Amino acid sequence: MVTTHVNPDCDALGSALGMAYLIEARGKKARIINTDPTPSRFDFVDPDSRIEVYSDTVFPAEDEAVVVVDVGDLRRIGKLGEFFLEHPRPFACVDHHKSNTGFAQVNILQPEACATGLILARLAKEWNISIDPKLASALYIAMYTDTGGFRFPNTDAETLRVASELIEAGADPSYLATEFSDNMPLGRVRLFGEILENFKLEAEGKIIYVTLTLDQLEKHGCDRSDVEGFVEYIRGIEGVELAILFRQADQQNTKLSFRSGDYVDCSLLAGKFHGGGHYHAAGATVFASVEETVRQVLPEAIRVVETGAQT
Ligand SMILES: [Mn+2]
């Protein structure tokens, strides 16, 4: 049984599918159960609708081995993680998050890999598994999106070499990139309009931040998956080093997303609020209202940006 993190992105989904294909290529059965449903705009990643959603009737059987992909912390699996706390069993974990806690019994952790999808491509080679178009597409979209379309600093020669091999194996780069960028729901665009209107600047424009409430999401018929990509976009504004999104997760919790341009280590910053992630992209959840979270986090962010001190 393969699973990945809540609010799955394309690396999570592509890697879960990729892991299932690799397991099957080695002659075993595999299935995928996630805590959260796949956002409809990512349906193209799972053309055979293989991914199931955890519920009272869909849950891991006792004799199923568990492989967790693209997850650095058991809490990131959400309700399924709680299920595993009640029904303990050994885990294998394939991941590239620098902040991975090593929670699994068997770990394949390669933090220098641009995406978990790349680690799976390496595994396919090591295991002499020939990559068919479905596996190629799953791993390609994982790498394409976790590198911001081969733009982020995690894009290296191996990334593009493996991407090229995946194209030779049947991944269609134009189709996958277009599916990822197109079909933007109108509500998402309107919500983005609000973000562009309401962001605030600190530290002489080196920090940009914006808050988002559940009411705002609801007003535009959006869910949290519709927010993806916004914080990267505003990070790209001239002079911005650090972008922070404060999103109300529920009545008690605020989700933080950090994105940095150059010298701020987001995973260390997120770690101060019990979160984690990568150097240039990380997140955390704070048990407080949005306003209170801004009050807690902003001074620390300003200090880090102005002094360059990471700890
Ligand atoms: Mn990833």
Distance of CA 124 from the midpoint of ligand 1 (Å): 18
Distance of CA 204 from the midpoint of ligand 1 (Å): 32
The domains of the chain are located at 2-181, 186-307
Domain 2-181 matches domain 186-307 at the CATH topology level: no
What per-residue confidence (pLDDT) applies to 186?
Answer: 92
Distance of CA 96 from the midpoint of ligand 1 (Å): 7
Distance of CA 53 from the midpoint of ligand 1 (Å): 20
pLDDT class of 183 with cuts at 50, 70, 90: confident
- Give 30-66 pLDDT, tens digit per residue: 999 999 999 888 999 999 999 999 999 999 999 999 9
Distance of CA 141 from the midpoint of ligand 1 (Å): 11
Distance of CA 143 from the midpoint of ligand 1 (Å): 8
Q: In 3-state terms, what secondary structure has residue 200?
A: strand
- Give 191-239 pLDDT, tens digit per residue: 999 999 999 999 999 999 999 999 999 999 998 888 988 999 999 999 9
- Give 227-244 pLDDT, tens digit per residue: 988 999 999 999 999 999
Distance of CA 165 from the midpoint of ligand 1 (Å): 20
CATH code: domain 2-181 is: 3.90.1640.10
Q: Which string of DSSP letters, residue by residue, matches 211-247?
A: EE-HHHHHHTT--GGGGTTHHHHHHTSTT--EEEEEE
Distance of CA 236 from the midpoint of ligand 1 (Å): 21
What per-residue confidence (pLDDT) applies to 32?
Answer: 98
Distance of CA 99 from the midpoint of ligand 1 (Å): 12
Instruction: Specify the length of the chain in residues.
Output: 311
* Residue type present at position 14: G
Q: Pick from 28, 24, 2, 26: which is nearest to 14 by CA?
A: 2
Distance of CA 101 from the midpoint of ligand 1 (Å): 15
Distance of CA 12 from the midpoint of ligand 1 (Å): 6
Distance of CA 33 from the midpoint of ligand 1 (Å): 18
What per-residue confidence (pLDDT) applies to 75?
Answer: 87
- Arch. (CATH architecture) of 186-307: Roll (3.10)
For the record, the structure tokens of 299 come out as 């001074």
| CA–CA distance, 78 with 64 (Å, rounded to integer) | 19
